[in-house]
Amino acid sequence: MNTNTTLSAPTLDIGIGGMTCASCVARVEKALKKVPGVQDASVNLATESARIVYLPDAQMEARLRRAVRDAGYEPRTPAQGEAALAASPWAGFGPVALGLLLCAPLVLPMAGDLFGRHWMLPAWLQFALATPVQFILGARFYKAGWHAARALTGNMDLLVAIGTTAGWALSVWLWLSAAPGTMPHLYFEASAVVVTLVLLGKWLEARAKRQATAAIRALQALRPEVAHLIAPDGGAAATGRPEQGTTTDVPVAEVLVGDRIVVLPGERFPVDGTLLQGRTQVDESMLTGEPLPVAKDADSRLTGGSINGEGRVVMRVDAVGGETVLAHIIRLVEDAQAAKAPIQRLVDQVSSVFVPVVLALALVTLLGWLWAGAPFEAAVINAVAVLVIACPCALGLATPAAIMAGTGVAAKHGILIKDAQALELAHKVNIVAFDKTGTLTVGRPRLTELAVAGGTMEAALLAAAASLQSGSEHPLARAVVAAAQARGMAVEAPDDVRAVPGRGSEGEVRGRSYRIGSLRWLQELGVDFGALAARAAALQAQGATVSAMAEKISVQAPGDRYVLRALMAFGDEPKPGARQALALLRARGIRTVMISGDNRGAAHAMGARLGLAPGDVMAEVLPGDKAARVLELKQGGHTVAMVGDGVNDAPALAAADVGLAMGNGTDVAMHAAGITLMRGDVALVAAAFDISDRTVAKIRQNLFWAFAYNAAGIPLAAFGYLNPMLAGAAMALSSVSVISNALLLKRWTPRAVDGAASPPVTPAARPV
């Protein structure tokens, strides 16, 4: 079990063994929701787990486990769940093999009929072969069916138990009531084969489920077990660890934030951290989907689970355990695979009445055939066929199997889907709004021009501007600091700095008070641009982002007065492939919009470079107004997606129907978004919509076939066109076909912006 604390209420994940169909899901959910303090419960048949939202209670876990057990199912621990996932492909095949072995002599006479030979095993031998299959191998159906009957509900096990028992009991009755020396037609082979086929179907289903959860196992396998720890200052006497400068292997669970770790060539980084010594190339393909190694040098971020290249490096630990990026990715994929899609509500409604309706149809079939004058045994066999073919296994697996496969393959290519609702909504999106800086552009603007007012020293102003903005993380502020450092200027700590959101900053440097920010802000403060007004307009027309710097002067009049000292022009570049990626979205019939805080000239110039029409560029939008612009786009019934990467994008991401956060951005943006793109590639936006389309299509296909099996099979069985053995085979085939159809999603690869397919990233293909 895993407990996750959210801002609202804690959640608990419980593994559940013994569920077989959609009716089991409904029954477990009902039992969990009856526990006092439970606010919501969602059960997933494909992952065999439940997620419960509850009010804080120290005994809640024990109560929930008991509720699961009382409902007739087995609560599982995380270790048991992981063992089931990692089981051999042939695990659990023993009972199936035994059933097939015992059924073979029963079915062999049917093969003889094809060649005109009428073989028939003695009745006692048929009984001896069929009875162990019915009551030993089939004991699971009686146990689960009994629990369902006690709870006044039904499930697949109850249908199989009733149907096969009826066939077995009918055969015993015909055998014992037959006249001496006669050999009646018995149905032992039907009941035994149905039990065996259902067991075979469940085994194939479990094997397919393990393939569907391969994404989680692949991510979990990225976590190394051991780290090479460098002893901290103080040596063994003070810390209990080896002396400074020596290394020792310790379990990753014992690594602390601030520790220093050696990572050798070809090894995986055990935790997140910062590169302190050495240079290397890092393979981050299993985390971001990017197949090319990334160069790393001093102060670069390192992500746990990625592979070190050719260099021996020393890293400082910044995050461990559940706070690492890899743990966050695993948690997101688990959350998505455990969640229910909105379309699942239809399945839940159907499953709640499915089994009682099937029992009623079986009874009607029995009475109908008797009323038509058919022999009693023929009426019973047709009713048994109705019970067997109507098992709702495929119905319960249709949606979660597709979600597991879709979210798993998306994660493999660097697209993390937070929940099933985002996955289902993404295929409806018809407008995508992009933040500009860091999303459509590289996000590393550089200072291209410093235009100073007459009589002002350029070097002194640049040093003052860099000092004032030295503590800011804004891309333009970093560009000013970088320009000053490139000229060898000293950057000092400013005094009394205050950020003005969406406008700029103000503070003191060496006793002089400055304001740096947008032209509009300084104009609102009454700053006269004088001779530099024309230059500002010219720079904006060229597509530059222009800021201004003003200094406070002492005057006798009340209030502060500022005079213009300089203009600063910044240039940024579109991300490689961004223009083609936007064109790819438009080819899908999706309108693309850019939202920018830049002046109109700079925003429209960048929009033109990206291939955007003037009407699709929103300029001079303050950070707090982005959400309002998203809401405007939603008017008229449009489904809107927002793509961003910064803290100020979080409200807009939350306001959109689907939020997509660039994984190279901030944690706040990723928490607000329904989908996270693990690398800053704009082409992944179209890929996210593509995998959403394909997953929703698989859900609909699966639901169609699940309903079609029953819609076609039940009437055929009721009218005597399906014997119980064929019905059992069709029922087993329905579950396997639904999961197999979902697993076709694993072959999906995102389309590259140049029209070529992006090669899938597999562990075997990763260079070390």
* Predicted local distance difference test score (pLDDT) of residue 193: 81
Exposure class string for 693-730: b at 16+ Cβ within 10 A, else e: ebbbebbebbbebbbebbeebbebbbeeebbbbbbbbb
Q: Is 57 a catalytic residue?
A: no
pLDDT digits (tens, 9 = 90+) for 677-712: 887 788 889 999 999 899 889 988 888 887 888 788
What are 251's strand-pairing partners? Answer: 226
Mean per-residue pLDDT, 639-665: 79
More confident residue, 458 or 343: 458
Q: How confident is the model at residue 434 (pLDDT cuts 50, 70, 90)?
A: very high
Q: How confident is the model at residue 289 (pLDDT cuts 50, 70, 90)?
A: low
* Predicted local distance difference test score (pLDDT) of residue 364: 92
Mean per-residue pLDDT, 480-491: 87
Q: Could you give the CA distance from residue 194 to residue 577 in angstroms, rounded to a whole number?
A: 57
pLDDT at 91 over 60: yes
pLDDT digits (tens, 9 = 90+) for 525-540: 888 888 888 888 888 8
More confident residue, 642 or 416: 642
* Contact of 500 with 477, CB cutoff 8 Å: no
Q: How confident is the model at residue 558 (pLDDT cuts 50, 70, 90)?
A: low
- Radius of gyration from C-alpha coordinates of the chain: 34
pLDDT digits (tens, 9 = 90+) for 190-204: 788 878 877 876 776
DSSP codes of every residue in 19-63: --SHHHHHHHHHHHHTSTTEEEEEEETTTTEEEEEE---TTHHHH
Closest CA to 690 of 749, 629, 760, 617: 749
More confident residue, 92 or 552: 552
Mean per-residue pLDDT, 342-362: 73
Report the DSSP pairing between strands 431-435 and 591-595. parallel
Average pLDDT along the chain:
79
* Predicted local distance difference test score (pLDDT) of residue 757: 38
Q: Could you give the CA distance from residue 600 to residue 687 in angstroms, rounded to a whole number?
A: 30
pLDDT at 360 over 80: yes
* Predicted local distance difference test score (pLDDT) of residue 237: 39
Phi-psi region of 36 (alpha: psi -120 to 50; beta: other; left: phi over 0): beta
Q: How confident is the model at residue 344 (pLDDT cuts 50, 70, 90)?
A: low
pLDDT at 88 over 90: no
* Predicted local distance difference test score (pLDDT) of residue 79: 54
Mean per-residue pLDDT, 75-98: 69
Residue 175 CA, chain-centre distance (Å), reads: 57
Closest CA to 283 of 296, 270, 273, 272: 296
Would the CA dihedral through 619, 622, 626, 628 be positive or negative?
negative
pLDDT digits (tens, 9 = 90+) for 149-193: 777 776 667 777 887 888 888 888 888 887 777 777 777 877 888
Could you identify the residue written with the tokens 């809401």? Answer: 631
* Predicted local distance difference test score (pLDDT) of residue 557: 53
**Torsion angles phi and psi, residue 35, rounded to 5:** -70, 125
pLDDT at 236 over 60: no
* Predicted local distance difference test score (pLDDT) of residue 317: 93
* Predicted local distance difference test score (pLDDT) of residue 247: 83
Question: Which range among 129-138, 332-341, 424-433 shows the weakest confidence by mean pLDDT?
Answer: 332-341
Q: How confident is the model at residue 205 (pLDDT cuts 50, 70, 90)?
A: low
Q: How confident is the model at residue 144 (pLDDT cuts 50, 70, 90)?
A: confident
Question: Which range among 105-114, 198-207, 547-556, 565-574 shows the weakest confidence by mean pLDDT?
Answer: 105-114
| Distant-in-sequence contacts of 280-284, Cβ < 8 A, 24+ apart | 280/308, 280/309, 280/310, 280/311, 280/313, 281/309, 281/310, 281/311, 282/306, 282/307, 282/308, 282/309, 283/307, 283/309, 283/766, 283/767, 283/768
Residue 634 CA, chain-centre distance (Å), reads: 25
Q: Could you give the CA distance from residue 149 to residue 24 in angstroms, rounded to a whole number?
A: 12
What would the two tokens of residue 444 be?
Answer: 């590393």
Mean per-residue pLDDT, 609-614: 90
* Predicted local distance difference test score (pLDDT) of residue 7: 42
Mean per-residue pLDDT, 108-127: 72
* Contact of 580 with 753, CB cutoff 8 Å: yes
More confident residue, 161 or 420: 161
Phi-psi region of 758 (alpha: psi -120 to 50; beta: other; left: phi over 0): beta
Alpha helix positions (H), 519-622 = 519-524, 532-541, 578-587, 600-609
Single out the catalytic residue among 435, 598, 645, 649.
Answer: 435
* Contact of 366 with 386, CB cutoff 8 Å: no
* Predicted local distance difference test score (pLDDT) of residue 452: 86
Residues 6+ apart with CB under 8 A from 740: 208
* Predicted local distance difference test score (pLDDT) of residue 591: 94
pLDDT digits (tens, 9 = 90+) for 369-401: 999 988 888 888 888 888 877 766 677 677 777
Exposure class string for 27-44: b at 16+ Cβ within 10 A, else e: bbbbbbeebeebeebbbb
pLDDT at 617 over 60: yes
DSSP 8-state assignment for residue 300 = -
* Predicted local distance difference test score (pLDDT) of residue 261: 92
DSSP 8-state assignment for residue 240 = S
Q: Could you give the CA distance from residue 650 to residue 661 in angstroms, rounded to a whole number?
A: 9
What are 620's strand-pairing partners? Answer: none
Mean per-residue pLDDT, 451-460: 80
pLDDT at 618 over 50: yes
